[in-house]
Amino acid sequence: MTLAAPVGYRRMDLLRTPDDRFADLPDFPFEPHYVEISDGIRVHYLDEGPGSTGETILLMHGEPTWSYLYRKMIPGLVAAGHRVVAPDLVGFGRSDKPAKRDDYTYERHVGWMRETLDAVDLDGLTFFGQDWGGLIGLVLVAQQPERFRRVVASNTALPPGIDVDLGEAFKAWRTFSQEVPEFPAGRIVGGGGAAISAQLSDEEIAAYDAPFPDETYKEGARQFPMLVPESANDPAAPMLQKAWESMSKFDRPFLCAFGDSDPVTGGIDGFLKAAIPGAAGQPHVTLEGVGHFCQEMAPDQLVEIINAFVAATPAGG
């Protein structure tokens, strides 16, 4: 389905995945919620649990997944009394998908998610981000630190905005993402590859493919690997340098929970622990035998980590 931009919005060609693609997904009983942001984009998010006695947990996914990635974690977080909000990034899941590659930029992704948090009126957040969920979400933390009470980073990074070597594993992934004739989203998550964390059923793999009826819906998934900055000349570098100025002063609780079998993000947790004041003295966790998609391989452990972290770091404490 192709959507025309409403009057008053900048023209952007958008695709919207038909609802029937999301019917009867395994272990996914959650009701969809939507907000409309700038550029006429409709963003989907999950919103579970009353949160009346707990806190609000913001879960952000990365590439090439969507909020389905959190289906095993949401029940345990809700059972602890928390409200859980899990948006689909623009270009993924049930959110609208700009049809042109050059409509996707790092700065736009950050802006789109900032607008989403505003539209849903989210504050006092515990943030959990993995992969691009962290690359985007940690910029949001840096830009609006007062909005976040604590942070859990897992298999993710906040790029420094300077000249860096992204490593051979990431470079191989980037090459694959651009050259593979059909981008196999579901198989990337659960069927093989350097950063795989779990073997999924055919039905679960199909659920990860559901947002993408054909290759035209995958421009965001194709573009994400190209948006990771490796040079100070990158368009996103000034935004990231400013973000690091903020995070170098961020003293609210910051916890790392990284899998030890992720060739792409291995070692980044050490950098985050050393660079962010709020990480000092926290009970950082190494997820043993866990690869990139930690939500698939260690969901119960992550739920325990988040719930214990929230309990140990009360707001204002």
Catalytically active residues are 131, 262, 292
Tokens 């994400």 belong to which residue? 224
Three-class DSSP labels, the chain = CEECCCCCCCCCCEECCCHHHHCCCCCCCCCCEEEECHHHCEEEEEEECCCCCCCEEEEECCCCCCHHHHCCCHHHHHHCCCEEEEECCCCCCCCCEECCHHHCCHHHHHHHHHHHHHHHCCCCEEEEEECHHHHHHHHHHHHCHHHEEEEEEECCCCCCCCCCCCCHHHHHHHHHHHHCCCCCHHHHHHCCCCCCCCCCCHHHHHHHHCCCCCHHHHHHHHHHHHHCCCCCCCCCHHHHHHHHHHHCCCCCCEEEEEECCCCCCCCHHHHHHHHCHHHCCCCCEEECCCCCCHHHHCHHHHHHHHHHHHHHCCCCC
